[in-house]
Chains A and B, each alone.
Chain A
Amino acid sequence: MSHALDFSAGQLVTVEGLTFRYRRQTALAGVSFAVGAGVTGLLGPNGAGKTSLLRILATAVPPNSGTVRILGSDPLTAAGRLAVRRQLGYLPQQPGFFPNFTAYEFIDYVAILKEITDRRRRREETLRVLAAVGLSDDRGKRIKALSGGMRQRVALAAAIVGDPRVLILDEPTVGLDPEQRLRFRELIAELGAGRTVLLSTHQTEDVSALCHRVIVLDRGVVRFDGAPARLTAAAENRVWHSAERSPQAVVAWRTGVGAVRNVGVPPPDADLLPATLEDGYLLLLDPSTATEVAA
Chain B
Amino acid sequence: MTRIGGRRDDTRATPSRHIATELLREYAEGGPAAGTTTGVEGHVDGCPECRGELARLMPTARFGRVWTAVEEALDEPRRGPAERALIWLGVAPDTARLVAVTPALRWSWSIAAGLVLFVAALVARLSLLDSPSLPLLAISPMLPVLGVAVSFGPRFDPTYEITLVAPVHGFRLALLRTAAVLTVAAALAAAASLVLPGSGPAALAWLLPMLALTLVTLAMATRVDPVIAAAVTGAGWVTLLLTTTHFGSGRSLLLTTMGQAAVSVVAVVALVALALARRRFDEKFTAI
- Interfacial residues, chain B to chain A (CB-CB below 8 A): 7-10, 12, 45-46, 72, 74-75, 77-78, 92-94, 97-98, 101, 157-168, 279, 282-284
Q: How far is the CA of A99 from the CA of B160 in the complex (A)?
A: 14
Give chain A residues whose Cβ lies under 8 Å from the Cβ of B166: 85, 110, 113-115
Contact A96 B161, beta carbon cutoff 8 Å: yes
Residue from A82, A86, A140, A145 whose CB has the most chain B CB atoms within 10 Å: A140
Contact A62 B168, beta carbon cutoff 8 Å: no
Contact A141 B10, beta carbon cutoff 8 Å: yes
Give chain A residues whose Cβ lies under 8 Å from the Cβ of B45: 140
What's the count of A-B pairs with C-beta under 8 Å? 97
- CB contact between A90 and one of B98, B160, B165 (< 8 Å): that residue: B165
Minimum CB–CB distance for B83 against chain A, Å: 12
Q: How far is the CA of A98 from the CA of B98 in the complex (A)?
A: 13
Q: How far is the CA of A85 from the CA of B200 in the complex (A)?
A: 52
6 CB contacts below 8 A, A to B, read: A58-B165, A78-B282, A81-B283, A82-B282, A112-B94, A141-B8
Contact A92 B162, beta carbon cutoff 8 Å: yes
Contact (A113, B162) CB under 8 Å given A81-B282, A140-B8, A145-B10 = yes
Give chain B residues whose Cβ lies under 8 Å from the Cβ of A141: 8, 10, 12
Per the CB 8 Å criterion, the residue count for chain A at the interface is 41
- Interfacial residues, chain A to chain B (CB-CB below 8 A): 58-62, 78, 81-82, 85-86, 88, 90, 92, 95-99, 101-102, 104-105, 108-110, 112-115, 117, 119, 122-123, 126, 137, 139-142, 145, 158
- CB contact between A114 and one of B75, B157, B164, B167 (< 8 Å): that residue: B167
Give chain B residues whose Cβ lies under 8 Å from the Cβ of A97: 158-159
Give chain B residues whose Cβ lies under 8 Å from the Cβ of A114: 166-168
Contact A158 B162, beta carbon cutoff 8 Å: yes
Minimum CB–CB distance for B100 against chain A, Å: 10
Contact A123 B161, beta carbon cutoff 8 Å: no
Closest to A142 in B: B10
- CB contact between B162 and one of A61, A90, A108, A142 (< 8 Å): that residue: A90
- CB contact between B94 and one of A59, A61, A82, A117 (< 8 Å): that residue: A117
Q: How far is the CA of A101 from the CA of B159 in the complex (A)?
A: 12
Contact B72 A123, beta carbon cutoff 8 Å: yes
Contact B162 A110, beta carbon cutoff 8 Å: yes
Contact A140 B93, beta carbon cutoff 8 Å: no
Closest to B167 in A: A85
Contact B161 A92, beta carbon cutoff 8 Å: yes
- CB contact between B77 and one of A88, A99, A105, A142 (< 8 Å): that residue: A105
Contact A123 B159, beta carbon cutoff 8 Å: no
Minimum CB–CB distance for A66 against chain B, Å: 16
Minimum CB–CB distance for B11 against chain A, Å: 8
Q: How far is the CA of A58 from the CA of B101 in the complex (A)?
A: 23
- CB contact between B167 and one of A62, A86, A158 (< 8 Å): that residue: A86
Q: How far is the CA of A181 from the CA of B167 in the complex (A)?
A: 30
Contact B8 A102, beta carbon cutoff 8 Å: yes
Give chain B residues whose Cβ lies under 8 Å from the Cβ of A109: 77, 97, 101, 159
- CB contact between B160 and one of A81, A86, A96 (< 8 Å): that residue: A96
Contact A60 B164, beta carbon cutoff 8 Å: yes
Give chain B residues whose Cβ lies under 8 Å from the Cβ of A88: 165
